[in-house]
Chains A and B, each alone.
Chain A
Amino acid sequence: MTPRIDPPLALLAELTHRCPLRCPYCSNPVELERASSELSEDEWRRVFREAAQLGVLQVHLSGGEPMARRDLASLISAASENGIYTNLITSGVLGGEQEISVFTAAGLKHVQLSFQDVTPDNNDRIAGLAGAHARKTRFAAAVRAAGLPLTLNAVVHRQNLDDLGEMIEMALALGARRLEVAHVQYYAWALTNRAALLPTRAQLDEATRIVEAARARLKGVLAIDYVVPDYHGVRPKSCMNGWGRQFLNVSPSGKALPCHAAERLPGIAFPSVREHSLADIWYRSDAFNRFRGTDWMAEPCRSCERREIDWGGCRCQAFLLAGDAARADPVCALSPDHGIVEAARLEAERAAPAFVYRRYTSPG
C-alpha cells in the first residue's frame, strides 16, 4: 500500500557553507560546497514561493553562517511575503544591531544563536575563532534590543558538558526564552571527531539531572529543549520524524535532501531545485520516496511495535556505522550492529584525542 504523503511543515535552507567558525562537530558535509556553486537570490526566491505553495509553514535560514550571504535581508523578505515563519540560525559573529534591525523590518520572527561554551577561552577554542564569544554576547543584546525572541543553542559534548549549569545562567542573563541543549550528533565532522566529543555516561547523567532541576525551577521563564544523545539511549531517535514526512532540506547549491546528512548516502540521486519543482521533488522523486513509510524496513524494524514511532531511526547513521542505509539504526539495542555503538561508548571513557577542525579540504 502506498503511504499517504502529507505536505512538508518545514524547510531548512542552507544558504551557504561559508562560515568564519571552524567547529569540529559541524553538521555540514566534510566536502563543503564553494561559494561559486551557491543558489542565486532569484533561485532562493523561487524555492520559497514553491515551498509556501507546497504547504511549508516555517523556514530555518541556516548554513554555514547565513549572514555570510549579503542578500540575506532580501531572502527573509521573500519567505515572509509568502506567509512563511522565518527563523535565523546563526553564530552571531558577522553582524550586530544594524543587520538585526534590517532583518526585523524584513519580517524575521526569531533568532537561534549558537554558543560553543560559557567561558570565552573554551568557546573560542572550540569554535576555532578568537573573539567569537564577545561578538556573540553583543549579538544577543542586539536581538533582544530589537524585540526579537531569542533561543540560545548550546552544542554540548564531553569538552563542555560540565559547564551546563552555567550555560543555563548565561541563557537567562542574555534574555533568552528558550535554550536548546543540543548534544552533538555524530555525522560529518562530528563523526571524524567522535572520540574527542562523545560524553561519558557519568557526564550525561549529571547533565540530565541539571536540566530536570532547571526545568522545574524556570517553568514559564526559560524553556529547555533537551534530548538524551542517541548513542547513550536504548531506542533510536525518530530522525526527521520519518524520512520525507515533514521536512526538507535544500543545500547551498540547490540539492534537495530529506535531511542535511543524507547526501552521503550512495545510490540515491538527490534532485536539484535548479531542475525540478519542489512539488515534484517532495511527492514524486525516488530520493524522497526511498525510505518513506515502513515498506522498506527489514527486521528487527519490520515487526517492531515502534516502527511508526521512531521510523527505524536514522538512515544516515545506519549507513555511516553499518554500511547500509536500509538496516536498523545501530543505536537501537535491538540492532544486530549495536556492538559498534557499544565500542564508541567505551572509547568515550578514554582520553580525548585532539580536534580535527572544519576546513575546505578533506581531513587526512
Chain B
Amino acid sequence: MARLVVSEPVVLRLAPHIVFRFDDTRQRWIMMAPERLMLPDEQAVEILKLVDGKASVGAIVDSLAARYSQAPRELIAKDVTAMLQDLADKGCLASDAAH
C-alpha cells in the first residue's frame, strides 16, 4: 500500500467505515474513524461536505473560492490540500483514480 498524495486533480471520497455526521447531542459535526473521534472546525466541515467521490480537489477549491471571493484561490488551495492530506494520512480518505 502506498501513501495517498492529495493534489488538485485527485478525486477523493471518505474511506469506508468513516462516519461524518451531525451530532444532535453536541449540536456539531463529528467525524468517526477506528478508535478515533474528530471534531472538525467550521471550515473543515464546509470542505468535507464537498468530498463526495465526484468533485476533484481542484473543483472543491473552485467552489470555495467562488463562495469566499475575498480570499485568493491560491491560499484556499493551499489550506484545502493541507487539511485533506492530513485526513488522508490518518486513513480517513480514499481515492479511486486521478481524473
Measuring CB to CB, which residues of chain A are less than 8 angstroms from any residue of chain B? 7, 9-10, 54-55, 57-58, 60, 83, 85, 87, 109-110, 112, 147-149, 151, 175, 177-178, 219-221, 223
Note all chain B residues with C-beta closer than 8 A to A221.
1-3
C-alpha gap A34/B31 in the complex (Å) = 37
User: When the two chains form their complex, are residues A149 and B23 in contact, meaning their CB atoms are under 8 A apart?
Assistant: no
CA A221 – CA B30 in complex, angstroms?
A: 24
Q: Let me know if B25 and A147 touch, CB within 8 A.
A: no
Known contacts A9-B37, A57-B37; A220/B17 CB under 8 A: no
Q: What is the CB-to-nearest-CB distance from A220 to chain B, in angstroms, rounded to a whole number? A: 3
Please indicate which of the listed interface residues A7, A85, A148, A177 has the most CB atoms of chain B within 10 Å of its own CB. Answer: A85
Interface of A is mostly: loop
Tell me if B98 counts as interface (CB < 8 A to partner A). no
Q: Are the CB atoms of B32 and A85 closer together than 8 Å? A: yes
With a cutoff of 8 Å between Cβ atoms, the chain B residues found around residue A223 in the complex are 89-91
0 or 1 for each of B12-30: is its CB under 8 Å from A? (1 = yes)? 0001110101010110001
Which B residues touch A149, using CB under 8 A? 15-17, 34, 91
Residues on B with beta carbons closer than 8 Å to the beta carbon of A10: 37
Q: When the two chains form their complex, are residues A87 and B26 in contact, meaning their CB atoms are under 8 A apart?
A: no
By beta carbon, the residue of chain A nearest B34 is A110
Most chain-A Cβ atoms within 10 A of its Cβ — which of B2, B16, B91? B91
Q: Is B77 at the interface (CB under 8 A from chain A)?
A: no
The CA-CA distance from A223 to B33 in the complex, in Å, is: 13
B35 touches A55 (CB 8 A): no
Q: Which residues of B contact A147 (CB under 8 A)?
A: 16
